[in-house]
Amino acid sequence: MKDIYVKFEGASELQGDSSDSRHTQEIEVSAFRHRVFQPKSSTASSAGGHTAERTEHGEMLFTKLIDRATPKLLRAASAGTVYPKVQVTFYRAYGGKNATATSQTRIDYFRIALEDVVVSSVETSVDGSELPCETFGLRYGKVAWEYKQHKLDGSATSTGVAGWDLRRNVAV
């Protein structure tokens, strides 16, 4: 399973089954997909190229096994509940100074912070060879991305935060 966790801050009803000591009761995710794109403008620039339009952010899609969050995600999608903040944390294994022959240190190398979040979709599926799973989508008013670069000693340093406020259509 991937090391990706989703936390709905302040929403005790939306807890997952993660038993990870750093992410207890968060939603553990096995797949992630997100698309941000610049649509083609109907007008051309004076140089003959395309001009920029208002950016479009598609649903942030997460796939997970059915867990205790499933009924609450379905209700949230049905009701259009707005959650003030959602955090998504990505980990990866890294050798570093604390690694042994059988274990590696985990580093949270990518974080996504969302504000004014709506559960926009939930799709449950069962394939013949898999356990029942679901894909849920999140839409948001504001997003911030942070990447942490690894050092040789296993530590990580943030390369800075970049984001976008869709409500005002400006960088943050």
Q: What is the pLDDT of residues 47-73, one digit of tens each?
A: 556 666 788 999 999 999 999 999 999
In this model, does residue 130 exceed pLDDT 90?
no
Please tell me the pTM assigned to this model.
Answer: 0.87
Q: For the chain, give every domain's residue range.
A: 4-39+52-171
Q: What's the rounded Cα separation, in Å, for the pair 60 and 135?
A: 10
> Which amino acid would we find at residue 38?
Q
In this model, does residue 136 exceed pLDDT 90?
yes
- Contact (Cβ atoms closer than 8 angstroms) between residue 115 and residue 85: yes
Q: How confident is the model at residue 132 (pLDDT cuts 50, 70, 90)?
A: very high
Q: What is the pLDDT of residues 83-112, one digit of tens each?
A: 999 999 999 876 555 555 555 678 889 999
The domain over range 4-39+52-171 is classified in CATH as 2.30.110.20:
yes
Q: What is the pLDDT of residues 11-31, one digit of tens each?
A: 988 999 998 999 999 999 999
Which whole number is the average pLDDT over 165-169? Answer: 95
